Homo-oligomer: A and B are copies of this chain.
Amino acid sequence: MTDKPISRFPVPALKDLPEDIAARITTVQEKSGFIPNVFLVLAHRPDEFRAFMAYHDALMDKPGNITKAEREMIVVATSTANQCQYCVIAHGAILRVRAKNPLIADQVAINYRKADITPRQKAMIDFAMKVSAAAYEVGDADFDVLKSHGFDEEDIWDITAISAFFGMSNRLANVTSMRPNDEFYTLGRG
């Protein structure tokens, strides 16, 4: 454990939070064994917290052709490009757990082109990286590449929305200096 600040903004105590937010945090704590700092940092703004979490769940928990591990790949690769400490560490941990692969998160973070993933997954990340860096240049040719790997239009919306949502999250985490929990560093390393 560490006593370093987890945000440059005030962090509310659980007992001072609106009931629904406190309940959500308690649930995640019970499931994970600790409270991921993103919950405490964003709870400083309850309305934004609720919208953020609702958006997150809509993108990451919905069923679809893209596996949960693959969604985390998108998060890890784009968050590295955005140099987001919290997102790479926390979602790297989730990726290791979801993929049951202790090496994959570091590989995807540093240079996904060299990672132990499929060509289809590399195409998915290529697209997510382009959405992150130059969405204004995305066009039919990019859609065609994804389709040649078996993705359909709904999958492409998913990849886009995950890349875009975590791009927002990366910026919030960097400006708040959101600190990843120490627990995430070793989770899923086997």
Per-residue B-contact encoding for A132-176, CB less than 8 Å = 1, 0 else = 100111110000000000000100110011011101111110111
Copies in the complex: 6
> Which of A106, A107, A171 is most buried by chain B, counting CB atoms within 10 A of its CB?
A171
A116 and B8 alpha carbons, distance in the complex (Å): 15
Residues of B within 8 A of A185 (CB): 102-103, 106, 189
Assess the A84–B168 pair: CB atoms within 8 A. Answer: no
Give the CA-CA distance A138 to B113 in the complex, in Å: 9
* Pair B168/A114 contact, Cβ less than 8 Å: no
Please state if B168 and A164 are interface contacts (CB–CB under 8 Å).
Answer: yes
Residue of B nearest to A50 (CB): B54
Please, how many residues of chain A have a CB less than 8 angstroms from a CB on the other chain?
64
> Which of A59, A163, A164, A186 counts the most B-chain CB atoms under 10 A from its CB?
A164
Chain B: CB-nearest residue to A182: B103
- In the complex, which of the residues B48, B58, B135 contacts A175, with contact meaning CB atoms closer than 8 Å? B135
Secondary structure at the A interface, as helix, strand, loop or mixed, is helix
Interface residue? A110 (CB, 8 A): yes
A37 at the interface (CB under 8 A from B): no
Cβ contact within 8 Å between B111 and A136: yes
A190 to chain B, nearest CB (A): 8
Can you spell out 7 A-B residue pairs with CB atoms less than 8 angstroms apart?
Answer: A48-B58, A55-B55, A85-B107, A114-B174, A131-B175, A160-B175, A160-B176
Q: A residues bordering B, Cβ < 8 Å?
A: 4, 8-9, 44-45, 47-48, 50-52, 54-55, 57-59, 62, 80, 82-85, 88-89, 102-103, 106-107, 109-111, 113-114, 116, 131-132, 135-139, 153, 156-157, 160-161, 163-165, 167-172, 174-177, 179, 182, 185-186, 189-190
